[in-house]
Amino acid sequence: MSDYLIIGAGVMGMLTARELAQSGASVTLVEMNNCAQEASWAGGGIVSPLYPWRYSDPVTALATWSQTGYIHLAQQLLEETGLDPELRLKGMFMVGVDDEDKALAWGRRYNKPMERVNPDFLYQKEPNLAAGCESALWMPEVGSIRNPRLGRSLRRSMEISANINLIEQSRVERLLVENETITGVQLADQVLYGDKIVVTAGAWSRELLQPLNIDLPIEPVKGQMMIFKAPVGLINRVVLMQNRYLIPRNDGRILVGSTLERVGFDKQPTEEIKQSLYQTALNICPALENCELERHWAGLRPGSPEGIPYIGAVPGYNNLYINAGHFRNGLVLAPASTRLLGDILLQRQPVIDPEPYQMIGRV
């Protein structure tokens, strides 16, 4: 029996396991597929909410902590595993923002470096953007993480930790309940036991808890993206325009995303969206027309009310906890969310006020 049994080995589950294992606790981490192959792989990796001033204070609190947290995490993972998650600290342009005054006021309130820049500044930094951009907001401290490589680095961290037992390709069929305690989980071929059970199953978290008569308002929200093989330097910074974005990688590749589709657990990419994303890419950077389109895919985000995640104890049970419901910002909020849950589980002083993320009063 482990001290902690974690269900779901995306970035949220692996970072939670890492946080607990580093305290000396024993952890079993179980994943229905392979580590970080669902939303953690499918996302873009911008380390900021899109249009961050449009989110509530609880999301901003987690995002602020995580932006610094990623700097340390990326360095630690590279040293620990030899696998670079490729954190890029190049900044983000938001072009053609309707509510610039609100954005700038938010920046002042939270001491976030943000300024309105003219076309000369924008095109000096990104000369390959489409002509005609009249103004933009510039956030120089926003970074991006290469999430598939973050996933590989974290998986390697799981493998080399003596305190973590990683089990992949094993779907949890049900939670085992005795009185008001979760004693373990039933897999197809075995039963796993843990003193405390943690659900980090993203869009699948609601399904896990429903047999316990808990109807958690988390739903899958499909997002489609694509990636171009482009020369290094075609785009150097994240560019956000008309609710879609380009994200450059160190090797020149450029991601384009994304959509918001409430179609259940359907992860199939569609031709209609493929054409729409392709046109978005060319509208932002026309030179992408000359670049190879490498891949088009879809993933499922764990949608929740206002995008505020559930972090902490599950009411009605002695030893059941959750860290899920981050909607579009799972990668953005992961370092802070997992640190906060670690603080709760290990009874440390929380780095962030845990109250806004509790299930009590929200479910």
pLDDT in tens, 56-82: 999 999 999 999 999 999 999 999 999
What is the tens place of the pLDDT at every residue in 164-200? 999 999 999 999 999 999 999 999 999 999 999 999 9
Mean pLDDT of 134-157: 97
Residue 215: CB atoms within 10 A of its CB come to: 10
Q: How far is CA 300 from CA 30, 38, 53, 267, in A?
A: 19, 7, 24, 7
Give the pairing type, strands 115-117 and 144-145: unpaired
Output the pLDDT for position 45: 96
Residue written as token pair 């290990």 = 346
Contacts of 58 (CB under 8 A, 6+ apart): 308, 356, 357
Q: Which fold has domain 1-90+143-217+305-363?
A: FAD/NAD(P)-binding domain (3.50.50)
- What residue has token string 């670690």? 342
Its pTM stands at 0.96
State in Å, rounded, how far the first CA of the chain is from the last one.
30
* DSSP summary character for residue 299: E
DSSP 89-142: ---EEEES-TTHHHHHHHHHHTT---EEE-HHHHHHH-TTSPTT---EEEETT-
Quick one: how many helices (H) and strands (E) in the chain?
9, 18
Closest by CA to 9, choosing from 238, 334, 347, is: 334
**At what angle are helices 147-160 and 11-21 packed, to 10 degrees?**
30
pLDDT of residue 15: 98
Q: In whole angstroms, what is the distance from residue 202 CA to residue 182 CA?
A: 19
The overall average pLDDT reported for the chain is 97
Q: Is the pLDDT of residue 362 over 90?
A: no
Preceding amide of 258 cis, omega within 30: yes
- Determine how many CB atoms are found less than 10 A away from the CB of residue 249: 19
84-112 mean pLDDT: 97
Please tell me the predicted confidence (pLDDT) of residue 363: 74
Which residue from 155, 191, 175 is spatially nearest to 321, judged by alpha carbons?
A: 175
Residue with tokens 């192959």: 37
Rounded average pLDDT over 247-273: 97
Q: Hey, what amino acid is at 273?
A: I
> Tens digit of pLDDT for each residue in 335-356?
999 999 999 999 999 999 999 9
Q: Which pLDDT score, from 0 to 100, does residue 59 have?
A: 98
- What CA–CA distance (Å, rounded) separates 338 from 253? 29
Residue 360 has pLDDT above 90, yes or no: no
Pairing of strands 27-30, 2-7: parallel
Domain residue limits, the chain: 1-90+143-217+305-363, 92-140+219-303
Contact residues for 355 (Cβ-Cβ < 8 A; gap 6+) = none
CATH number of 92-140+219-303: 3.30.9.10
